[in-house]
Chain A
């Protein structure tokens, strides 16, 4: 252990080394080169490395000889309003990034669950999009390119910095949502958006079935909500289910969309005052941290009702949200590996993948973030791991024991 401290100190200096809560050495590199140096050393010494942001999403419990914290990668290299792109370090907290972008009249259209100070790298590496994926696409659509240190210490510049680019193979896609299994993202080139004139959230409360009918009507209409999320009573802190719609755009256009909201029996619309919509989103985002396990499933909209029933019957209703316009389901609560495996098997028969977004290590290691794949996919993923992290230096459970 003392050797680890001394080696890291040599590499990064006195400010580049800490001790984590369990006494493990925690390297805090402040550049891509420093991350590469630490990973190269870990390969030489055959140390396992746990990668952390601010430690607010995934529990800091993966077995390791060394922790690398990316909180030192907190730079904002460039924010360019004229091009609506930006280059920032992976350790920048989402709320800090939002503040800086706001000053430039821009924003990043990712509303991931979890604490507002989650690092950008955590959101990208785990691919945790939020309700805005309906209007602006999943996390991967916002990443133009990235700098990555692979598990064997090589530095890769994936993708590009412009909004359209097909040069070479898309290494960026491997990293977004890869849970760090193929490398450590240190810097990101982002697609940004200009701040809109209006950003309004409206809610309807009622029975789940009624709200799903309303949502279907909205989906078939000319309305264009940026988000349309169905939330369980526990998640929305409400006695009923809640359908939350978010409209973002020019003032008149948002107003016109609001005027079209359907008036169904038993459903009334409530506009969240501008000053409170942020807190509503914070509360629902934070609710994803109430249980120790968060999972994500992708169902077609037509099968959303049945899939919600399936999740509720296997795990309980818990803190549940569902993209009523895109079919992505997120559930948070307590679950055993056996329950998750059972649900994953049942979902797979409906062609619905289940990703474990966060869970304690005993659960992650048992079922994996991805679990057993479709036939033939496991071989590809194993090869990808062998290619980009041949000594399995990065401590991550992509497949879990389900795969064995």
Chain B
């Protein structure tokens, strides 16, 4: 990195907030996905919007690529910068600028932590609905970049359904406001286009989100099943019945065992091949009716056990196991390969059988904990990356799972994003013309392709294509390409 750039950055944010030493940079070498690593040229932590704008303008003057990063909880290797790039960490821009209870809107800076927003809105009887499992740490800016989901997105929608207006800091340092406070588009739906663009269109400097009322009634049920197939069929029946649960989550035996052996033990049935966590919310009457109907469907599909949370603390206990499942799986092996492909909900029984077959054939440990209600799988492979034989099996198994999901008419990612992790699968899902159209869309916002280069699009006309060929894959260095 040129000294003039470093000096310019220090002048804007102060020496303390420009990280250049290798030991400091090591902290930012990966995000929440440990199998991808890349050390940035330097890291800058601006304190406020003025500093951030000045930093981006300086980088534009020097034609330096940059990557915006929130809390670094992403699971796609998306918030990684190469040595020729600057990592902009936005966690200091963490102010809730306003909450409008009547209009049910909040305006926030990108570094606001997801859970803090719902906490602040609660005094008005409101909440911010998207709730990624990492919500106690992840930021709204990161959620916007990834179009993040979460268990309760089955009913309430993902991030894109809750963002109405964005003040965008374009990669050239200029500002533009997209959308409107009400949510009506101002021209084409540029907010919808921006959300989920994985930091490649610029930086969301100010975000206006929709808040929703905290539901009056909530009912949480946990059902155990003797087979994964029976649990999957129960999911399909609930969806086809027209009931839209707030959440409909599944955990298989391996996941339950990991949870129950951890400090997050939630009282899940250890003899079940799979458990379903179902949450219903809304008005008192509607919830009571739906709970009865769900109860019947769960029993019809052979539920071997059924628990209903009697109060808020029991509800919290049932959710604890689900929310902390990824942490609990850390007990199984040093490394965890996480995917989030999506399949049509009716394909769940077959695809879960297929994953079991892949697991057995490769002799791997795969734990499934996922958003069953929308078919969003999370097959987690526990492994030790220091073992090259195991690495190769993990790579092969992941590829087979991805291909099976694509063949079932699904998607390679439902909420984690493509990042650098799934870029190799993009051309299995999209035609060259579609990928080219995506590249072109990126260039509308960022003609120089400097914002988060090397991610999402494996297309020969994009900088991403060229960069992917030279990307730093920690996994590959260790014998893992996943």
Contact = CB atoms under 8 A, between A and B. Distances in A.
Interface of A: 80-85, 127, 137-138, 140-141, 150, 154-158, 160-171, 173-174, 176-178, 181-182, 193-196, 222-224, 249-250, 252-253, 255-257, 296-302, 326-328, 351-353, 355, 370, 373-377, 380-381, 383-384, 387-388, 398
23 contacts: A157-B430, A157-B434, A160-B342, A160-B410, A161-B344, A162-B375, A166-B415, A167-B413, A168-B430, A169-B442, A170-B147, A174-B188, A176-B189, A224-B283, A252-B285, A297-B184, A298-B180, A298-B182, A376-B170, A380-B176, A380-B445, A381-B188, A387-B440
Given A256-B283, A387-B440, A353 B410 contact: no
A323 to B, nearest CB: 10
Nearest to A106: B242
A372 to B, nearest CB: 10
B146 interface: yes
Nearest to A384: B444
B185 interface: yes
Contact of A355 (B178, B184, B374, B440): B184
A95 B292 CA distance: 34
* Most chain A C-beta atoms within 10 Å of own C-beta, residue among B102, B160, B188, B457: B188
Nearest to B429: A167
A174 B189 contact: yes
A65 to B, nearest CB: 25
Q: Which 3 A-B pairs have the closest CB atoms?
A: A298-B184, A194-B242, A173-B192
A298 B434 CA distance: 32
B193 A352 contact: no
Contacts of B6: none
B282 A82 contact: no
B463 to A, nearest CB: 14
A82 B410 CA distance: 15
A80 B344 contact: yes
A119 B429 CA distance: 28
B397 interface: no
A295 to B, nearest CB: 11
B29 interface: no
Contact of B286 (A168, A253, A383): A253
A141 B161 contact: yes
Contacts of A353: 180, 184-187
Contacts of A387: 440-441, 443-444
B200 to A, nearest CB: 8
B197 interface: yes
Interface in B186-241: 186-190, 192-193, 195-197, 200, 216, 236, 239-241
Contacts of B415: 164, 166
B188 A384 contact: yes
Interface in B344-387: 344-346, 371, 374-376
A178 B437 contact: no
Contacts of B146: 166
B44 interface: no
B475 interface: no
B432 to A, nearest CB: 10
Q: Main secondary structure on chain A at its contact with chain B?
A: loop
Interface string B441-482: 111110000000000110000000000000000000000000
A168 B344 contact: no
A79 B418 CA distance: 29
B290 A250 contact: yes
A180 B157 CA distance: 26
A163 B434 contact: no
Contacts of B409: 161-162
Given A167-B426, A377-B187, 10 more contacts: A82-B345, A83-B239, A85-B344, A164-B374, A166-B418, A169-B193, A173-B160, A298-B180, A370-B186, A376-B170
Nearest to A158: B434
B183 interface: yes
Contacts of A375: 176-177
Interface of B: 100, 102-105, 146-147, 149, 153, 157-158, 160-161, 170, 174-178, 180-190, 192-193, 195-197, 200, 216, 236, 239-242, 282-286, 289-290, 293, 342-346, 371, 374-376, 409-418, 422, 426, 429-431, 433-438, 440-445, 456-457
* Most chain A C-beta atoms within 10 Å of own C-beta, residue among B176, B241, B412: B176
Contacts of A166: 146-147, 158, 196, 411, 413-418
Nearest to A300: B103
B100 A302 contact: yes
A165 B160 CA distance: 11
B290 A170 contact: no
Contacts of B416: 166
A170 B149 CA distance: 15
A250 B285 CA distance: 10
Contact of B284 (A81, A83, A196, A222): A222
Contacts of A255: 285
Nearest to A371: B187
A40 to B, nearest CB: 13
Given A154-B437, A222-B283, A252-B285, A170 B193 contact: yes
Contacts of B185: 127, 177, 353, 355
Given A374-B176, A381-B187, A154 B240 contact: no
Given A83-B345, A164-B158, A380 B190 contact: yes
Contacts of A224: 282-283, 286
A195 B242 contact: yes
Contact of B103 (A250, A301, A381): A301
Contact of A296 (B184, B284, B343): B184
B176 A177 contact: no
Contacts of B436: 154
B178 A377 contact: yes
A326 B438 CA distance: 32
Contacts of A158: 434, 437
B437 A171 contact: yes
A26 B283 CA distance: 52
Nearest to A133: B183
Contact of B411 (A84, A164, A328, A388): A164
Contacts of B343: 162
A194 B241 contact: yes
A277 B193 CA distance: 37
B297 to A, nearest CB: 13
* Most chain A C-beta atoms within 10 Å of own C-beta, residue among B157, B240, B285: B285
Contacts of A177: 185, 188-189
Nearest to B437: A156
Nearest to B376: A164
B181 A178 contact: no
Nearest to A259: B285
A68 to B, nearest CB: 20
Contact of B283 (A84, A155, A223): A223
B201 to A, nearest CB: 8
Given A224-B282, A384-B188, A168 B456 contact: yes
Contacts of B433: 154-156
B190 A377 contact: yes
Contacts of B157: 137, 141
A206 to B, nearest CB: 22
A144 B457 CA distance: 20
Contacts of A168: 418, 426, 429-430, 434-435, 438, 456-457
